[in-house]
Copies of this chain bind each other. A is one copy, B any other.
Amino acid sequence: MKVAILGFGTVGVGVYEMLEKCAGLEPGPVLVRPGKEDKPFKVSSMEAIVNDPSVGAVAEVMGGIEPANSYVAMALNAGKHVVTSNKALVAAHGIELAQLARDKGVSFLFSAACGGGVPFLHNLAIAAQSDEILSLGGILNGTTNFMLDAMQSEGKDYGDVLHQAQDLGYAEADPTADVSGLDALRKIMLACAVAYNKLPVDGFSREGIESITAADVSDFQSRGLTCRLITSGGPAGDTVYAYVEPVLFPANAPECSVVKNFNMAKYNGEDAGAIVLMGQGAGRYPTASAVVRDLCGLGSLEMFRPEVCKVTADNAACVHPYYVRVDADKAGRFVFSDKWADGDSVRGILEPIAVPAMHALADSVRKEGGSIFFAAMEG
């Protein structure tokens, strides 16, 4: 079967190369921008692809919402399977696209949208068929993991490790989606929809790593702790909880062994117990391998089932102690169980507090021009 590829950037080239050596599949036409058709296999017309009867499936790796959404809908309407790595697209239009695929009797799969080379959504979808998923999440953003690991192992500043991540191609020129936690949040949205048939679209709590300083790292490192940006999701009554925030782990936690730009995805099944998957969360070949794995398994799995509906996340029942560094004049609004002075700041551990309340307190500090770093304490 021929697979058309939409977009010929980092991942698209990887998918093309992998399809050339994959039994049963071969690369078909590749959609590029008009004027970029410098090889016979490159086309600039989506119509040429949907009208090509030799194309059985389409791999969408162009990114962005439009025209990706329109192109995917055209492909599905033409009866082509679609595999995509586009988490923003699936978060925004996945329910409608999955329904269209169902109507047309084809597959709509998006393993590569969450975890890169780590087969998280695939295994989650299978597990959810027969097991109750009690919780899910983990380290789902490789860029921030690289940065946190470099800050901790090399003692560098936030700005330095961000530049390093950009130089290595791990972070984009505008790194906001990664460092703000938005990328990780989109991934947990998809995971919740796969596991619970509930796609959370608002009600989130989201804290990235933009507030962390070398002094923060030095302080919690002296206490034997390691920081990771963690996404968390799970059932919450009729809806789900879904949030992203830094978390501090003791030295023996598996999360501490996740270094560089690796990901670590987890789910906890009532029957299977805790299942952890680690691997490269981004990059040409890891991401392309996830696209091609989906292409090899067309028809065998549904990631968004007919029951998937949009919900508002509810994190009110998620309660943790938090490590906090905050300006001394703003410290009074926090209930510390332990604290210590650090220049004009106060550092300490808070009494357990609900996730939305913690995030709201941090917002209140920042709205007043104050500075704060916080991270949940694991275990």
Binding site for B on A (CB under 8 A): 14, 18, 22-23, 25, 117-119, 122-123, 126-127, 129-131, 252-254, 256-259, 269-280, 283, 285-286, 288-290, 292-293, 295-297, 299-301
A378 to chain B, nearest CB (A): 13
Q: Is the CB of B288 within 8 A of A271?
A: yes
Q: Is the CB of A296 within 8 A of B129?
A: yes
Q: Is the CB of B285 within 8 A of A272?
A: yes
Cα of A285 to Cα of B301 in the assembled complex, Å = 23
Cα of A275 to Cα of B264 in the assembled complex, Å = 10
Q: Is the CB of B18 within 8 A of A117?
A: no
Q: A289-B131, A300-B300, A301-B300 are in contact. Are A276 and B273 (CB under 8 A)?
A: no
Q: Is the CB of B130 within 8 A of A18?
A: yes
A119: chain B residues at CB < 8 Å are 123, 126, 275
Scoring A252, A257, A272, A299 by chain B CB atoms within 10 A of each residue's CB, the highest score goes to: A272
Which single residue of chain B is at the shortest CB-CB distance from A284?
B271
A25: chain B residues at CB < 8 Å are 130
Q: A130-B296, A256-B257 are in contact. Are A117 and B272 (CB under 8 A)?
A: yes
Q: A23-B129, A272-B286 are in contact. List 4 more A-B contacts (CB 8 A).
A: A129-B296, A130-B292, A275-B277, A277-B278
Cα of A274 to Cα of B278 in the assembled complex, Å = 8
Q: Is the CB of B285 within 8 A of A126?
A: no
A253: chain B residues at CB < 8 Å are 257
Q: Is the CB of A126 within 8 A of B279?
A: no
Scoring A123, A273, A274, A285 by chain B CB atoms within 10 A of each residue's CB, the highest score goes to: A273
Checking B22, B123, B130, B270 against A130 with a beta-carbon cut-off of 8 angstroms, the contacting residue is B22
A273: chain B residues at CB < 8 Å are 117, 279-280, 283, 285-286
Cα of A258 to Cα of B278 in the assembled complex, Å = 13
* 16 pairs, CB–CB < 8 Å, chain A vs chain B: A14-B271, A18-B131, A22-B129, A25-B130, A119-B275, A127-B289, A252-B256, A252-B257, A254-B254, A254-B278, A256-B257, A273-B283, A273-B286, A274-B279, A276-B277, A277-B278
